[in-house]
Amino acid sequence: MVVIINIVAIVLFLALAVLLSQNRRAINKITIAKLLALNIFIGWFLTSFTIGREIIIAVADVFTAVVSIAYEGVAFALPNWVNVPQMNFVTAVLLPLLMIVPMFDILNYVGIMPFVIKWVGRALSFVTGAPKFESFFAVEMVVLGNPDVQAVSATQLQKISKQRCLTIVIMSMSCVSAAIVGSYIQMLPAEFILMAIPLNVVNALMISHILCPVEVSPEEDDAIFNTSSDEKKLPFFNFLGNSILGAGKLVFIVTCMFIAFVSLAKLINAGLALINPAISLEAALGLVMFPFAWLLVPDTAEAFQLAQFMGTKLITNEFVVMLQAQPLIETFSRHMQCVLTVFVTSFANLGTVGILLGTFSGIVSKEKNELISKNVKYIIISGIMISLMSAGIAGLFVQ
């Protein structure tokens, strides 16, 4: 029964995306069919095959080992923060980023990550028929995250058409960041977080093409994809110093945002309690998101809990929800654990919209920025639809 409802959910989500499309006639149905098939294969392979499960476990073990090594550096500087019965959120989740972010930056600096991203992007384009640059960008954005991915691809973003630029912005709502994944797996099941990443890549391509379809000729696609940046590399130790400082800023920014969002939510709840003690921000968001949540988790109690988490994530961020869900996750059914974890594993929230608008304003032309600003609703819709599709596909194979 759950599987049937999840299938209906996926069909309805796709139908809703088509209904909201800017140009339904321009949607390439063959590309969409290929992307959907790839989506289903990824979910099936990672859950139903021994080798798929072993890959997930191996990658999770690597991230766990990296985080453990990072704790040694934190313990050296702040032993009384680490050698305690229960580490606080900043120590357990954020401070390891001071090592993990530079580690991925070094892999990028020496050319390992660009090589992997380029050829995975080529393979994705070959299999699905999606444009090469969009495929490349979809892979790149789950390694680098916002706003680094836009900075790295600035040369291409300046050369593509304004309509393709809008498509890239729409895709960017599903960004994660490989460096952040080490933090995520400290809070929610690693197997589902790692499943969400490839699903988000494929769904970003699929939903962006449905909402904002663009016809790209092979000649134009090749010309843009093969455009290289003229940016010169900094000397290694200058680069490493900047990377470490950037990681420190990230830790500080996430800490500040977490404190601010949680405090503001509590303030809103306090105001609502003056009207009626039974009213809360979480309950209101739960009512709005409940129909979508029920299609993913057809248990009324769990669906309402999921709806509250979904709404909270969209107006705050994934860290807030992950920390709220962490002590409860073992009480949920395995299906609920999967759907919740996959849904929240992305940067898709209202704050990201502001980051994207600010980032692109400093990279692309005024004409492109005006088009992006006029289509903010599509950026928000894409973030929701990508998360819903990824959660729906994952839920098919985890009962």
Average pLDDT over residues 296-322: 90
38, pLDDT greater than 80 = yes
pLDDT digits (tens, 9 = 90+) for 149-185: 777 788 888 888 889 899 998 988 888 877 788 888 8
Average pLDDT over residues 214-242: 78
CB atoms under 10 Å from CB of 378, counted, come to 23
- What is the rounded CA–CA span in Å between residue 56 and residue 192? 9
293, pLDDT greater than 90 = yes
Of the candidates 225, 231, 171, the one whose C-alpha atom is nearest the C-alpha of residue 202 is 171
What per-residue confidence (pLDDT) applies to 228? 62
- What is the rounded CA–CA span in Å between residue 338 and residue 297? 10
pLDDT digits (tens, 9 = 90+) for 364-376: 888 988 999 899 8
Q: Is 109 exposed, middle or buried (0-12, 13-18, 19+ CB in 10 A)?
A: middle
CB atoms under 10 Å from CB of 280, counted, come to 18
Using DSSP's 3-state secondary structure scheme, residue 267 falls into helix
Contact 25, 213 (CB under 8 A): no
What per-residue confidence (pLDDT) applies to 227? 66
Contact 129, 31 (CB under 8 A): yes
Average pLDDT over residues 357-384: 88
DSSP 364: S
Provide the mean pLDDT of the chain.
87
379-395 in b/e burial notation, b at 16+ Cβ within 10 A? bbbbbbbbbbbbbbbbb
Domain ranges of the chain: 2-396
Q: Give me 235's structure tokens.
A: 């000397």
What per-residue confidence (pLDDT) applies to 290? 93
